[in-house]
């Protein structure tokens, strides 16, 4: 089974389209999305519809929950709060209900998928400390767990001296962000994983950042949200 895994689209339709075009060019059996479809960007409704149409499974992200239910806003930066309020208004009731219905965690094809962390999915934890990362392996029972949330792609294994994703070991893989990468590379992230061979590939794709930034500014959202797309921060 060949999977494409995407995460943290953040209402960036230009980046999402670029990623889906590459997925279609390669051909996969199923696409999964790790949440945060909305928040930050200019086109939340189109992104929700496209993810809903194209993905076999989708989990809830903290921005999806904030937009759908006005929950957890205080934990977000000021410019993100403004985007949440605007997106709440921009989405239809049906789109908000769809976001509200998303599960926090799912398992498919021998992989666990969760937005932030498998131990406490609803705490929206950040996994930067090594001991916190290590603990996560006790909280999923598949060989591979895919996460997003930090917007920084990464592969962590529970075994020493394992330098690439391969069968016989366990992995916690952050697939990075489609619509707002934060590792200094502004190109959109998409991950490809073959559940039979364990071939894993993290791909970066250029997209029309100028256009995505222009739409953010046109909506009246913070100029910093547009600027960070160019910097990949
Ligand atoms: Zn995010």
- Report, as an integer, the average pLDDT of 185-206: 98
**Contact yes or no for 170/159 (Cβ under 8 A):** yes
Sheet architecture: strand order including 105-108:
105-108, 111-114, 144-147, 171-174, 154-157
Angle, CA of 233, 57 and 103, to the nearest 5°: 85
Q: How far is the CA of 149 from the centre of ligand 1 (A)?
A: 5
Is residue 8 over pLDDT 90? Answer: yes
DSSP states of 84-118? HHHHHHHS-HHHHHHHHT--SEEEETTEEEESS-S
Q: How far is the CA of 161 from the centre of ligand 1 (A)?
A: 30
Q: How far is the CA of 66 from the centre of ligand 1 (A)?
A: 12
Is residue 109 over pLDDT 90? Answer: yes
Is residue 73 over pLDDT 90? Answer: no
pLDDT above 90 covers what percent of the chain?
92
Query: Which of helix, strand or coil describes residue 187?
Result: coil
Residue 163: the pLDDT is 83
DSSP states of 35-73? S--SSSSS-HHHHHHHHHHH-SEE---HHHHHHHH--SG
How many angstroms separate the CA atoms of 53 and 135, rounded?
A: 35
Q: How far is the CA of 42 from the centre of ligand 1 (A)?
A: 15
How many angstroms separate the CA atoms of 151 and 144, rounded?
A: 18
- Report, as an integer, the average pLDDT of 172-181: 98
Residue 72: the pLDDT is 87
The pTM score is 0.96
Q: How far is the CA of 10 from the centre of ligand 1 (A)?
A: 7
How many angstroms separate the CA atoms of 62 and 81, rounded?
A: 12
**Shortest CA distance to 13 belongs to which of 184, 214, 173?**
214
Q: How far is the CA of 44 from the centre of ligand 1 (A)?
A: 13
**Contact yes or no for 7/148 (Cβ under 8 A):** yes
Lowest mean pLDDT among 80-94, 96-110, 120-134: 120-134
Residue 129: the pLDDT is 84
**Contact yes or no for 9/47 (Cβ under 8 A):** yes
Q: How far is the CA of 61 from the centre of ligand 1 (A)?
A: 7
How many angstroms separate the CA atoms of 157 and 171, rounded?
A: 4
pLDDT tens, position by position, 33-68: 999 999 999 999 999 999 999 999 999 999 999 999
pLDDT above 70 covers what percent of the chain?
100
pLDDT tens, position by position, 145-175: 999 999 999 999 998 888 899 999 999 999 9
Q: How far is the CA of 181 from the centre of ligand 1 (A)?
A: 9
Q: How far is the CA of 150 from the centre of ligand 1 (A)?
A: 7
Is residue 184 over pLDDT 90? Answer: yes
- Report, as an integer, the average pLDDT of 180-207: 98
H or E segment to which residue 146 belongs: strand 144-147
Q: How far is the CA of 198 from the centre of ligand 1 (A)?
A: 26
């Amino acid at each position: 089974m060949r999977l494409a895994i995407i995460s943290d689209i953040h209402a960036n339709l230009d980046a999402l389209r670029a990623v889906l075009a590459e997925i279609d060019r390669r051909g996969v059996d199923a696409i999964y999305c790790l949440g945060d479809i909305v928040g930050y960007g200019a086109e939340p409704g189109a992104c929700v519809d496209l993810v809903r149409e194209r993905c076999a499974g989708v989990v809830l992200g903290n921005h999806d929950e904030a937009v759908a239910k006005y929950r957890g806003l205080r934990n977000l930066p000021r410019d993100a709060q403004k985007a949440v309020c605007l997106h709440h208004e921009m989405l239809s009731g049906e789109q908000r209900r769809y976001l509200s219905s998303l599960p926090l965690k799912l398992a498919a094809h021998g992989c666990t998928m969760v937005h932030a962390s498998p131990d406490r999915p609803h705490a929206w934890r950040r996994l930067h400390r090594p001991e916190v990362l290590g603990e996560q392996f006790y909280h999923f029972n598949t060989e591979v767990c895919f996460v997003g949330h930090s917007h920084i792609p990464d592969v962590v294994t529970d075994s020493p001296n394992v330098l690439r994703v391969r069968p016989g070991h366990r992995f916690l893989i952050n697939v990075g962000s489609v619509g707002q990468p934060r590792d200094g590379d502004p190109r959109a992230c998409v991950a490809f994983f073959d559940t039979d061979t364990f071939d894993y590939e993290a791909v970066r794709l250029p997209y029309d950042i100028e256009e995505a930034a222009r739409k953010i500014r046109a909506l009246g959202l913070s100029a910093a949200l547009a600027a960070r797309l160019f910097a990949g921060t």
